[in-house]
Amino acid sequence: MSNLTVLDLRKKKADHEKIVMVTAYDATMGRLVDAAGVDAVLVGDSLGMVIQGEANTLSVTLDQAVYHTRCVSRGVERAHLIADMPFMSYQVSPEQALLSAGRLMQEGRAQSVKLEGGVVVADAIRKVVSAGIPVVGHVGLTPQSVHAMGGFRVQGRGEDGAERVLADALAVEDAGAFLIVLEGIPRDLAAEITRRLSIPTIGIGAGVECDGQVLVCNDLLGMDLSFTPRFVKRFARLEEVAVDAVRQYAEEVRSGVFPAQEHGFEGRRPKAEPVALARLY
């Protein structure tokens, strides 16, 4: 089975078929979401928050992104695999962006890379694309700019804000990206960008008019019920399932119910009997 390609994802927009993307961080979850039939798996730098417990994504390194992408690649057989480029792995220069993207492709086994920003990263996108590496853009609420934005705040409100986000999206497309994530922007703005661009748009907190949607696997599965952003819909409540299961395990260990006979092995190997040597006279 071969992975979906850049051409496959672009064709979905032309065919008015929604694109399903999920963010995952390890081989097990990669295998599960791939088995569910998603179109693309993103190894996001959100691993800094979801996996490492940090307050934002800024501490994630390129080495960590490579590691997690390679892990996910072992579980994904059908979906298109996208690797996030972490903070300061592409902002210094287009040449740095190319080297970082190359590592994510060679060592991480990604099929494409994603970077945040619009007009200011257009040259970096061009450099990476010119080397034959497919690029996914990301505009609107860009988590790596959390401090500049004053927090995780909706972007593109008001005429000026909307014009800036639209200009970023157009710059990303013009630079050669084949796909773009629209995060945390008003629904009407996302709809306009989706109409204006020839490349597919993937929304997160950007409304239903986008060409597809992305959610973090942990969020859609309800693995942290204290995390309640407006853009997330829980399709399960696995935190409750997991806590109940571990609680039952602990009770059975303490009461001696587990492990039972069927959880062990029988037939201890007998000790070898000493062999008496005949005395020869």
The residues carrying an active-site annotation are 183
**Residue 61 contacts residue 50 (beta carbons within 8 Å):** no
Residue 212, helix vs strand vs coil: strand
**Residue 219 contacts residue 195 (beta carbons within 8 Å):** no
Residue 137, helix vs strand vs coil: strand
**Residue 90 contacts residue 123 (beta carbons within 8 Å):** no
d(CA 235, CA 115): 28
CB atoms closer than 10 angstroms to residue 96: 15
Angle made by CA atoms 267, 273, 279, in degrees to the nearest 5:
165
CB atoms closer than 10 angstroms to residue 20: 18
Q: For residue 2, how many C-alpha atoms fall within 13 Å in the half-sphere facing its CB?
A: 4
**Residue written as tokens 């032309």?**
14
| CA-to-CA separations, 117 to 71, 150, 157, 220, 221, in angstroms, rounded | 26, 16, 17, 26, 29
Sign of CA dihedral 9, 10, 15, 20: positive
